[in-house]
Amino acid sequence: MTSIDSSEAASALSDIDSIVRRVRQSRIYDLTSRMLILWGALTFVGYLVTWLSPRHAGYAWVAVYVAGTAGWALISALNRARSGIRSFDIRIFVAFLLFIAFGIFSCWLGHFTPRQMGTFWPLYFMMVYTIVGLWVGLAFVAIGLSIIALTLIGYFFVGEAFDLWMAFVNGGGLMLGGLWMRRS
Amino acid sequence: MAELDDIIHQPLRLKIMAALNALPAAAPGLEFSRLKKLTGATDGNLGAHIETLSKAGYVAVEKAFVGKKPQTTVTATAAGRGAFARHVATLQEIIAASARQP
C-alpha cells in the first residue's frame, strides 16, 4: 500500500488541477478555432466585397452575420453530438444579439464613416475577445491584441486599400489565429 | 482512512486519469496525440502506462483508422472514474487529517 504525507498529497492534487485546466482550455481552443476559421473566412469575403463594390457592402455584411450565426449554431451542434458538451444556447445567442445591437447603436450615435465602421467593428469584437482571453487562455489575448494593432495601423496609415487591408488583417488574422489555436 | 490506489498514484497515470476524468462521461475520450501533449510524456512511456491502466480496467483503448492514419482513443471506464474519485477523496483526507493534527 502506498503511503504519502500531506505535502505529497497536496502536490498530487495540484497536478490534477493543472491537467484538468489544460484539458478544459484545450477543448475551448478546439471549438473556438473552428469558429475563428469560419468567421475569418466570412469576414474576409465581407471586406473584399466592401472593397470591390462598396454599394453592396451593407448586403454583404448582413449575409456575413446571418451565415456566421448559422455556421456557429451548426458547429456547436456538431460539437455537442461529438463531445456531449453544449456550447450554444439561447442566452449566448441573446448576448450576441445585444452585443451587435450595442455596436449598431454606437455607430449610429457616432455617425461613423464607412472607414470608421470598418475599424470600429474589429476593435469592438477583438476588445471583448482579449478580455475573455484573460480568463480562458492567452492565445485569445495574443490574437485579439494583434488584430487591434494591425487594424489601427490600417486606419491611420493605409489609404484607399483599407478594406483590402482589413480583409487580410481581420479575416486572414482570424483564420491564422484559428489554425494557430488548433495547434497550441 | 481509505487507501490510495497504487495504480493511479504513479504520476503519469495520475495525469492520464485526471485528463480523462475532466471529460463528461458521454464524451468520446482523448486521442493518444492529445494525451501526449497534455501530459508531456513520450510515446513509449505513455503507451506503457495506458496499458497498465487498461489492464486494471480503468481505461478503454480504441484503435481506428481515420483516412489512412491510425488513431488511438483512450476513454475512462466507469470503474476508472470511480477509482479516480476515491483516490482524489483519499488525497483530500490526508490533507485534512494533517491539518487536524496539533
Please give the ipTM for the structure prediction. Answer: 0.86
CA of B19 vs chain A CAs: smallest distance (Å): 6
Give the pLDDT band of residue A30 (cuts 50, 70, 90): confident
Residue range A24-30: mean pLDDT, rounded: 84
Does residue A7 fall inside a structural domain?
Answer: no
**How many other C-beta atoms can be found within 10 angstroms of the C-beta atom of residue A91?**
8
Q: Which residues of B touch A83 (CB under 8 A)?
A: 23-24, 27-28
Predicted confidence at residue A17, as pLDDT, reads 94
Give chain A as a DSSP string.
Answer: -----HHHHHHHHHHHHHHHHHHHHHHHHHHHHHHHHHHHHHHHHHHHHHHH-GGGHHHHHHHHHHHHHHHHHHHHHHHHHHHS-----HHHHHHHHHHHHHHHHHHHHHT--HHHHHHHHHHHHHHHHHHHHHHH-HHHHHHHHHHHHHHHHHHHH--TTHHHHHIIIIIIHHHHHHHHHHH-
Does residue A158 fall inside a structural domain?
Answer: yes
Does residue A51 fall inside a structural domain?
Answer: yes
Choose between A80 and A130: higher pLDDT: A130
Cross-chain residue pair B18–A15, CB shorter than 8 Å:
yes
Query: Domain map of chain B by residue range?
Result: 6-100
* A23, A26, A28, A184, best to mutate vs chain B, most B CBs in 10 Å: A23
Cross-chain residue pair B9–A83, CB shorter than 8 Å:
no
Rounded percentage of chain A residues whose pLDDT exceeds 90: 49
Cβ of A1 under 8 Å from any chain B Cβ? yes
pLDDT, one tens digit per residue, over A77-96 is 888 777 666 666 788 888 88
Give the gyration radius of chain A's Cα atoms: 20
Mean pLDDT taken over chain A: 88
Q: Give me the total of CB pairs closer than 8 Å, taking one residue from chain A and one from chain B.
A: 73
Residue range A9-14: mean pLDDT, rounded: 92
Provide the strand spans (E) within chain A.
none
Q: Which residues of B touch A85 (CB under 8 A)?
A: 24, 27
Predicted confidence at residue A137, as pLDDT, reads 80
The range of the structural domain enclosing residue A167 comes to: 18-183
User: Cell 500531506 appears where?
Assistant: A6
Cβ of A9 under 8 Å from any chain B Cβ? yes
Predicted confidence at residue A184, as pLDDT, reads 66
* B38, B75, B86, B92, best to mutate vs chain A, most A CBs in 10 Å: B38
Does residue A12 fall inside a structural domain?
Answer: no
List the single residue in A with minimal CA-CA distance to B97.
A6
Contact between B84 and B21 under an 8 Å Cβ cutoff? The reply is: yes
Q: Which residues of A touch B4 (CB under 8 A)?
A: 1-4
* B91, B93, B98, best to mutate vs chain A, most A CBs in 10 Å: B91
Does residue A177 fall inside a structural domain?
Answer: yes
Does residue A6 fall inside a structural domain?
Answer: no
Contact between A166 and A118 under an 8 Å Cβ cutoff? The reply is: yes
Q: Does domain B6-100 have CATH number 1.10.10.10?
A: yes
pLDDT, one tens digit per residue, over B19-76 is 999 988 777 788 999 899 889 899 999 999 999 999 999 999 999 887 788 889 999 9
Does residue A8 fall inside a structural domain?
Answer: no
Cross-chain residue pair B19–A10, CB shorter than 8 Å:
no
Cross-chain residue pair B91–A23, CB shorter than 8 Å:
no
pLDDT, one tens digit per residue, over A131-156 is 988 987 888 899 899 999 999 999 99
Please name the residues in contact with A27: beta carbons below 8 A apart, sequence gap of 6 or more: A83, A85
Between CA A118 and CA A130 the distance in angstroms is 19
- In chain A, how many domains are there? 1
Does residue A24 fall inside a structural domain?
Answer: yes
Between CA A93 and CA A65 the distance in angstroms is 12
